[in-house]
Structure 1
Amino acid sequence: MITQTLKEAFEVLNLPHMAAVYDHHAEEASRDSISYLEFLDKLLWAEIEAKKARATSTNLKLAKLPYVKTLDSFDFEFQPSANQRKVNELKTLAFVERSENVVFLGPPGVGKTHLAVGLAVEAIRNGHTAYFLSAHELISMIRENIESGRIHRKLKALNKPGILIIDEVGYAAMEDEVANYFFQIVSNRYEKGSIILTSNKSYGSWGDVFGNNVVATAILDRLLHHSTTINIKGDSYRIKEKKKAGFYDVSRYETDSNDLNG
C-alpha cells in the first residue's frame, strides 16, 4: 500500500525516474541495511542524473549540430598546430562563463568544425545551451527574415543560446545589408554570450568576406576583444582518409595544401 502511495506521489511531483528505480533501491536498502537517509539520497541523485541526461539529450537536438563529436576524439597528433593546451583550457568552459569567443582559422578539412562541435557538446553536457549554423545558413536566414519583416525577432532569438556557433565564415561573400546584420548579431552578443566561429580566411581577408573594411573591422573589434584564436595549419582529415584508401593524387594535394597554408 505504501509503495503504491509513494509511486503516486512520484508521479504528482514529476519524478518519473525515481518511480522507475524505487523497487530496485528499496530491495537494496533492505538487503544491505541501508539507512533511510542513504536510501533517500540514492533515490534523489538517481532522479537528478536522469533529469540531467534528459536535458542534455534535448539540448543536443535543439543545438542543430551537424554531428556529435567530442574533443577527446580529435587527433592532435595528426594536427599538432591545433594547440591541444589551448583546447584543453577551453574545455574547462571558463570562456562560456565569461561570455568570451573562440575562433578557429585554417584551410578546409583540418578539423575546425570538429573542434567547434566538440566544445559545444562539452558545454551542453555541462548544462549550457548552444545553437549551430553555417555561415551560408545564416546568410539565407538573414535574407529571408529581412523579406518577411521578422529580422529583429530573429536577431533576438540568436541572443538566447549560451553559445552561438557560426561555421565556415568566408566561403561566401556578404552584401552590405547582410553584413550589417551579421555585425548586429556579434554586437548583440558582445560580453553577453559566447560565439564560436570557424573560417578559412585570415583576419586580413575579412574585408572581402563582408564586402566592407569598416564593417569587417567593427566585427573583428567586438569578436576578438575577449577571445581565443586557434590557427590550424595542416593537412585535411578527409584527404588523409582518401590517401589511406588510395583514391587521391598525393602530389597534387600537397601542392594545393601548401597554397592554402601560405
Structure 2
Amino acid sequence: MIGIQERLQDAFQQFGWTRIPEILHHHAEEAAKHNLSYLEFLDKLLQEELAAKWERYICTRTQLANLPYHKTLEQFDFSFQSSIDERRIRDLATLRFIEHQENLIFLGPPGVGKTHLAVALALEAIKQRYTVYFTTAHDLVQTLQQADQNHTIKQKMRVFTKPHLLIIDEIGYRKMEESAAHFFFQIISERYEKGSIILTSNKSYGSWGEIFGDPVLATAILDRLLHHSTTINIKGESYRIKEKKKAGFFRPEENDRKPE
C-alpha cells in the first residue's frame, strides 16, 4: 500500500508544486506547535507556493526578454541627471503607454542612462505580465538579414512584432544598409498602433536620414514612430565618465595645470 508521503509527493508532482514539498514538514511542526487551524496551515503552504511560482514566472519572463542586465528605477541616479523629470519617468512606469500601444524614445549622448531607463521600464512591464523583448538596432537588422537569406524571415519577424513591448537600443551608432533600413521600417510598420516600442538613440531626429541612408524612409519611420509617442531628451555627463573620475582615472595633465 502506498504511504501518505508517497501520495503527497505524487500529488505535488502532478500539480507542479515545488515549494510546498520543501517546507511541508517545517510548517507542519510549526502548525502543531502554535496550534494553527487546518485552514491557516493550508493557507501558509499555498501562499508560499504562489510566491515561488511568481518568482519563477518573473525569472523566466526576464530571461526571455533578452535584457542586457537587471537595473531598476530605484537604482537610477536622478540627482545626477537633472535634465530628467523623475515624476515624468515614474508616470511612465505606470505603463499606460503600453496599454495604449504608444511609443517611448530616449534621446541623448552615450552613457547618460538611456538603456538603464529602458531596462527598468521593461522590468516593470514584466511584473505587470506584459511580454517584452530587448535588442540592439545592430542585432535586430543582422538577425533579419540572416533570416532573409535563410528564408525564415516571417518567423523571425514575429520575434519583434509579437511582444507587447519591444525595446530597440542604440539607434544611430552604425549607419544601416539599404536592406537593413527597410527591415527596420517593416518592424515599425507592423507594430504601428498594435504594440509599444521603447527606442534609444544618440542622434537627434534631424540626423535619422543619415542613419537610414534615405531621408524619405527616415521620414516614414519617424511618422509612424512619433504619431503616438513620448520623447525624453537627456542632457548631461556620462555615468561611466563620472565613475572613472571618482576612481581617479581622469586627472589633469601636468602641462595643463595652472601655474601657482
Q: TM-score, normalised by structure 1?
A: 0.88
Show the counterpart of 1:58.
Answer: 60
- Of the three residues 234, 237, 243, the one matched with 2:236 is 234
CA drift at 1:197: 0.6
Distance 2:38 2:95 in 1: 37
Q: Which has the larger radius of gyration?
A: 2
3-state SS in 2 of match to 1:165 = strand
Q: State the Cα deviation string for residues 93-131 of structure 1 (Å, max 9, x = none).
A: 222232222110001111101111111122223333322
* Structure 1 residues 250 and 192: alpha-carbon distance in aligned structure 2, compared to 1, 3 A threshold: farther
Q: Name whichever structure is richer in helix by fraction.
A: 1
Show the counterpart of 2:225.
Answer: 223
Show the counterpart of 2:257.
Answer: none
CA drift at 1:237: 0.7
Q: Which moved further from structure 2: 120-129 or 108-117?
A: 120-129
Q: How does 1:71-90 map to 2 (within 5 A)?
A: 71-90=73-92
Residue 151 of structure 2 is aligned to residue 165 of structure 1? no
Do the aligned residues in 2 keep the contact of 1:60 with 1:121 (CA within 8 Å)?
yes
Show the counterpart of 1:187.
Answer: 189
- Of the three residues 131, 134, 137, the one matched with 1:132 is 134
Do the aligned residues in 2 keep the contact of 1:11 with 1:19 (CA within 8 Å)?
no
CA drift at 1:20: 1.8
Alignment: residue pair count: 251
Q: Which moved further from structure 2: 101-110 or 128-137?
A: 128-137
In structure 1, list runs of 5 or more residues that go unmatched.
Answer: 252-262
In structure 2, list runs of 5 or more residues that go unmatched.
Answer: 254-260
Distance 2:145 2:214 in 1: 18
Do the aligned residues in 2 keep the contact of 1:243 with 1:250 (CA within 8 Å)?
no
CA drift at 1:3: 4.8
Regions of 4+ moved over 6 Å:
none
Do the aligned residues in 1 keep the contact of 2:141 with 2:183 (CA within 8 Å)?
no
Sequence identity percentage: 57
Show the counterpart of 1:69.
Answer: 71
* Structure 1 residues 217 and 57: alpha-carbon distance in aligned structure 2, compared to 1, 3 A threshold: same
Q: State the Cα deviation string for residues 142-180 of structure 1 (Å, max 9, x = none).
A: 221222222222112212222211111011112222212
Q: TM-score, normalised by structure 2?
A: 0.89
CA drift at 1:85: 1.1
CA RMSD, 1 decimal: 1.9
Distance 1:75 1:98 in 2: 28
Distance 2:209 2:197 in 1: 20
Distance 2:82 2:252 in 1: 20
Q: State the Cα deviation string for residues 39-67 of structure 1 (Å, max 9, x = none).
A: 22222221111111111112222222221
